[in-house]
Amino acid sequence: MTAPARTVPALPPALFEEWSAYLKPEDLAQIQAAYQFSESAHHGQFRKSGEPYIAHPLAVANILAKWHLDSQALTAALLHDVVEDTEITKNEIAEQFGKPVAELVDGVSKLDRIKFDTQEKAQAENFRKMLLAMARDVRVMLIKLADRLHNMRTLDAVDLQRRQRIARETLEIYAPIANRLGLNSLYQEMADLSFQHLFPDRFRVLTKAVRTARGNRREVVTKVLESIERRLSENGLEVQVQGREKHLHSVYRKMREKHLSFAQVHDMFGFRIIVKDTTSCYVALGLLHGLYKPIPGKFKDYIAIPKANGYQSLHTTLFGPFGSPIEIQIRTAEMHKIAEAGVASHWLYKSSNTSLSELQKKTHQWLQSLLEMQSESGDSVEFLEHLKVDLFPDEVYVFTPKGKIMSLPRGATAVDFAYAVHTDIGNRCVAVKINQELMPLRTELRNGDRVEIITASHAKPNPLWLNFVATAKARAHIRHFLKTMHFAESVQLGERLLLQALAKFKTALGDVSDPQWNRLVRDSSAKSRDEILSDIGLGKRLAVIVAHQLMALGEPLPPDSRPAGAVVVRGSEGLAVQFARCCGPIPGDPIIGIISKGQGMVVHTHDCPVIAKSHRDPERVLDVQWDASPTKLFDVGIRLVVANQRGVLAKVAAEIAAAESNIQNVAVDPEDGGTYTGMRFTVQVMNRMHLARIVRDLRRIPEVVRISRVKG
């Protein structure tokens, strides 16, 4: 006797009725089918809390329905764990519910079936895949955010270690993404839930303190609310005035960042004023400034210059009754919808309003920047690093020479601005004018700066820029350029080192046949001949061993050999050849080359104490010599002892300039009241003869008592 077929339940009536308020009957039919499909697929599966698994996808779909997302998104939400947790494939979903739904499900699904070296790499690759799917269709991220929100709401059911890992991941990645997409209420709830699970004791203490403060300040809040409503209505404004309380995580973050006690957080309670149009926002602002005195420097106009996520409001802080500061936000109803729902407002409130289209445009630009970033990042972990940099912007607003407003994170420099304008501008920038004045490229930008980038066709990114850029886009482009350049330069150096190693076999590089190279590439699991040469240049392979391998794969080795010639150093090799800081070699110094793994060749002087103390592999020591005509200037340190008299620094600087040298750095010993003082210069020279000429000229200055070259 066979068991009767199980009856698959229908969508709960309450939800069906709620969703039918904005969805068409044919849409509801598809969602009903998706619910039954998902319920059958997950039948017998339970969550950690003990409830049937179908409760989770149903809750996720309901969160999306609150944003009035379309039927495809709700269908994908109901099916989002089917591919991951059951034997059903993406193709089966495509056949039954259409390709767009299958793509959404695939974008949200993790990569659990692919094995990664580390948990960190698996997590990073999951984010990378999901964000690239989001760049094609932002609904992928909306589904994922709703999925994460429901998981956070039910996090008590999992063990402590996993709970803290998920909470930290939410706080570092998902909450900032929600904020970046303008989903304010979702961002605040995620941040508060993460705080609750990461720091339960602090959460409890702060919750109690806020509850107590709410009772103590009720009288003040009520008085302010009534006076605001009275003043605005007396002047004919139609308004809604809402009291709002600072979220717990926001309070905690402010206390931690500014080292405040709870009693010192005065902006716990604020007010939101919603008016009918933009003009009324500014009228209300003027009336409130007449009611209570504004605190200088605490006014922000996000209507004229919206935030990157499309947020618009006027913010001001006033001196309230009893001397307590009051935070006020003033916005229209349309601005309020966008502030709460962000990009989801595209579905939630369909309108031709320009602020909506502007928001979609900004979101699209950010998503496109993610695509650019991932194409230039070497791996998924690096991509996730860049993304984290990009997700915490505290914006500054600057102007291009043509008056266009650009938003950048606080701390952004002129180089960040250059890359924000265009990648080529960033790669070729050499100088910047800020408010018509020439400034260093590392200058941090401030609100209202007018920025003009000066470029040169021969210029290229400098590795030092990575020390001060603030945006993920700039960092990714600079790293990509340097990696490409480093690879090309290390290939060239590797070729020269291999040529030297082959010379003892009386073989030129051109004599090595393609079959020999192909076999070596295959045997060594390299991708190409250039990769082997690059590894030699970077010290990951030894040239002499590669030469032996090549010869062993070809004709028998000749019985006699001759010593290899020295490697010639020109100074223009770039990143593949570095000059040791410990001894600072310059042309004319006797030198020796050391192959350092991952760095390429490092050039030292023969008498460098670092070389003498360290035990070097003889195979990594190279005979090197200077090119007859070096192509760059070299930094060298000199120290002077001078009479402590007025104007001596100017005399020394003038002599160095007259000797056709640049001063890179200068330091003077602190004033001690003595007759003599010390000065230390870093100057640029062509060679030892040039340095000798500078030293000779400096000795002619009567105030110079002693001069010496500084190494290290």
pLDDT at 668 over 70: yes
Question: In what side-by-side order are the strands of the sheet with 704-710?
Answer: 663-668, 676-685, 634-643, 704-710
Summarised one tens digit per residue, pLDDT across range 166-186 is 898 888 888 888 887 778 888
Helix, strand or coil for residue 330? strand
Q: How far is CA 688 from the centre of its chain?
A: 43
pLDDT at 557 over 60: no
Rounded to whole angstroms, how far apart are CA atoms 468 and 443? 9
Rounded to whole angstroms, how far apart are CA atoms 408 and 470? 9
- For residue 456, give the nearest of 484, 430, 419 by alpha carbon: 430
pLDDT at 621 over 90: no
pLDDT at 495 over 50: yes
- The structure tokens listed for 702 are 């009567």
Rounded to whole angstroms, how far apart are CA atoms 628 and 689? 13
**Mean pLDDT throughout 612-637?**
75
Which residue would you say has higher pLDDT here, 672 or 459?
Answer: 459
- The structure tokens listed for 345 are 């407002």
- pLDDT at site 696: 93
Residues 6+ apart with CB under 8 A from 646: none
Relative orientation angle of helices 139-153 and 160-169, to the nearest 10 degrees: 150
- pLDDT at site 121: 64
* 683, β-bridge pairs: 636, 663
DSSP H helices in 137-183: 139-153, 160-169, 175-180
Which domains are delineated in the chain?
A: 13-197 (1.10.3210.10), 203-350 (3.30.460.10), 393-470 (3.10.20.30), 482-626 (no CATH), 634-710 (3.30.70.260)
Of the chain, the percentage scoring pLDDT greater than 90 comes to 17
Tell me phi and psi for residue 625, to 5 degrees.
Answer: -145, 155
- The structure tokens listed for 662 are 């640049």
Rounded to whole angstroms, how far apart are CA atoms 470 and 475? 8
pTM exceeds cut of 0.75:
no
- pLDDT at site 351: 41
Rounded to whole angstroms, how far apart are CA atoms 692 and 322? 74
Which residue would you say has higher pLDDT here, 509 or 169?
Answer: 169
Rounded to whole angstroms, how far apart are CA atoms 23 and 64? 13
Rounded to whole angstroms, how far apart are CA atoms 154 and 163? 10
Tell me phi and psi for residue 446, to 5 degrees.
Answer: -120, 160
Rounded to whole angstroms, how far apart are CA atoms 581 and 385? 30
Helix, strand or coil for residue 603? strand
Question: In the block, which residue shows the tokens 């109803």?
Answer: 333
DSSP string, 612-653: HHS---GGGEEEEEE-SS--S-EEEEEEEEEE--TTHHHHHH
**Mean pLDDT throughout 659-686?**
86
Q: How far is CA 198 from the centre of its chain?
A: 24
- Contact between residue 233 and residue 227 where contact means Cβ atoms under 8 Å apart: no
Q: Which of 77-86, 225-234, 349-358 has the lowest mean pLDDT?
A: 349-358
Which residue would you say has higher pLDDT here, 291 or 219?
Answer: 291
**Mean pLDDT throughout 336-340?**
79
Q: Which of 231-235, 436-440, 535-539 has the lowest mean pLDDT?
A: 535-539
DSSP element (H, E) containing 326: strand 325-332
DSSP element (H, E) containing 451: strand 451-455
Where does the pLDDT of residue 147 fall: very low under 50, low under 70, confident under 90, or very high at 90 and above?
A: very high
Residues 6+ apart with CB under 8 A from 211: none
**Mean pLDDT throughout 434-452?**
87
- For residue 712, give the nearest of 633, 605, 590, 624 by alpha carbon: 605
Return the biggest CA–CA distance within the chain: 116
Where does the pLDDT of residue 124 fall: very low under 50, low under 70, confident under 90, or very high at 90 and above?
A: low
Where does the pLDDT of residue 7 fall: very low under 50, low under 70, confident under 90, or very high at 90 and above?
A: low
Rounded to whole angstroms, how far apart are CA atoms 34 and 12? 13
pLDDT at 600 over 70: no
Where does the pLDDT of residue 196 fall: very low under 50, low under 70, confident under 90, or very high at 90 and above?
A: very high
pLDDT at 349 over 50: no
- Contact between residue 406 and residue 460 where contact means Cβ atoms under 8 Å apart: no
The per-residue b/e assignment along 140-159, b for 16 or more CB within 10 angstroms, e otherwise, is bbbbbbbbbbbbbeebeebe
- Contact between residue 550 and residue 541 where contact means Cβ atoms under 8 Å apart: no
Which residues are known to be catalytic?
84-85
CB atoms within 10 A of CB 664: 13
Instruction: For Cα atoms 465, 389, 314, give the angle at the middle one, nearest 5 degrees.
Output: 110
Give the 3-state secondary structure percentages of the chain, helix then strand then coil, rounded to 5. 50, 15, 30
Where does the pLDDT of residue 398 fall: very low under 50, low under 70, confident under 90, or very high at 90 and above?
A: confident
Q: How many CA atoms lie within 13 A of 339 on its CB side?
A: 17
- pLDDT at site 77: 92
Which residue would you say has higher pLDDT here, 373 or 527?
Answer: 527
- pLDDT at site 343: 60
Summarised one tens digit per residue, pLDDT across range 221-260 is 788 888 888 888 888 888 888 877 778 888 888 888 778 8
> Average pLDDT, whole number, for the chain?
80
pLDDT at 135 over 70: no
**Cα torsion through 297, 301, 302, 305, rounded to 10:** -110
- The structure tokens listed for 223 are 């008085």
Helix, strand or coil for residue 524? coil
- pLDDT at site 8: 66
- Contact between residue 67 and residue 138 where contact means Cβ atoms under 8 Å apart: no
Rounded to whole angstroms, how far apart are CA atoms 431 and 418? 10
- pLDDT at site 297: 81
Helix, strand or coil for residue 324? coil
